[in-house]
Amino acid sequence: MLDPGSIARFRADRDALLIAAGIDPQARLGIAFSGGPDSLALLLLAAAAGPVAAMTVDHALRPDSASEATACADTAAKIGVPHTIARVSVAAAGEGLQGEARRARYAALAEWADAANLAAVLTAHHADDQAETVLMRLARGAGLSGLSGIRPSRPLVEGSPTRLLRPLLGWRKAELAAIVEASGLVAALDPSNANPRFGRTGARRVLSETPWLDPARVAASADHLRDADAALDILAGRLVVEATEVAGDSVVFTPGDAPHELRRRTLIRLFSAHFGAAPDGPALARLLATLAAGGTATLAGVRARGGTRWTFSPAPPHRSA
Looking at 189, 213, 237, which one is the last position of a domain?
213
Q: Are residues 72 and 208 in the same domain?
A: yes
* SS3 assignment, position 96: helix
In a domain, 100, yes or no: yes
User: In this structure, is residue 234 part of a structural domain?
Assistant: yes
> For the whole model, what pTM was predicted?
0.87
Task: Identify whether residues 98 and 36 lie together within a single domain.
Answer: yes
> How far does Cα 215 stand from its chain's mean position?
18
Gap between the Cα atoms of 9 and 283, Å rounded: 45
Same domain, yes or no, for 166 and 275?
no
| Phi-psi region at 284: left, alpha or beta (left = phi > 0; alpha = psi -120 to 50) | alpha
Count up the domains in the chain and report the number: 2
CATH number for the domain including 276?
Answer: 3.30.465
Q: Are residues 201 and 301 in the same domain?
A: no
In a domain, 321, yes or no: no
Q: How many other C-beta atoms lie within 10 A of the C-beta of residue 315?
A: 15
3-state secondary structure of 304: strand
Q: Does one domain contain both 202 and 229?
A: no
Residues 8 and 155 in one domain: yes
CA 118 to chain centre: 19
Domain shared by 53 and 109, yes or no: yes
What single-letter amino acid sits at 317? P
Within a domain: 76: yes
143 and 242 both lie in a single domain: no
- Spatial neighbors of 295 by CB under 8 A, at least 6 apart, are 306
Indicate which CATH number applies to the domain containing 23: 3.40.50.620
Of the residues 213, 239, 255, the one at which a domain ends: 213
Question: Please, what's the largest Cα pairwise distance for the chain?
Answer: 78
Whether residue 195 is found in the same domain as residue 59: yes
DSSP-assigned states of every residue in 133-178: HHHHHHHTT--HHHHT-S-SEEESSTT-SSEEE-TTTTS-HHHHHH
| Rounded distance between C-alpha atoms, residue 46 and residue 306, angstroms | 54
Domain span at 309 = 223-314
- The last residue of one of the domains, among 213, 238, 263, is 213
pLDDT value of residue 63: 85
- Select from 23, 34, 11 the least CA-distant residue to 163: 23
What pLDDT score was predicted for residue 159?
A: 84
Q: What is the pLDDT along the chain (321 residues), one digit of tens a residue?
A: 799 999 999 999 999 999 999 999 999 999 999 999 999 999 999 999 999 999 999 987 788 889 999 999 999 999 999 999 999 887 766 667 777 888 889 999 999 999 999 999 999 999 999 999 999 999 999 999 999 999 999 999 988 889 999 999 999 999 999 999 999 999 987 666 655 566 678 888 989 899 899 999 999 999 999 999 999 999 999 999 999 999 899 999 999 999 999 999 999 999 999 999 988 889 999 999 999 999 999 999 999 999 999 999 999 876 655
d(C-alpha 146, C-alpha 167), whole Å: 20
Residue 68 counted as domain residue: yes
Looking at the structure, do residues 189 and 238 belong to the same domain, yes or no? no
My answer on whether 100 and 128 are in the same domain is yes
Instruction: Please give the Cα distance from 224 to 227 (Å, whole number).
Output: 5
Question: Is 320 inside a domain boundary?
Answer: no
229 and 172 within one domain = no
In a domain, 38, yes or no: yes
Q: Is residue 319 part of a domain?
A: no
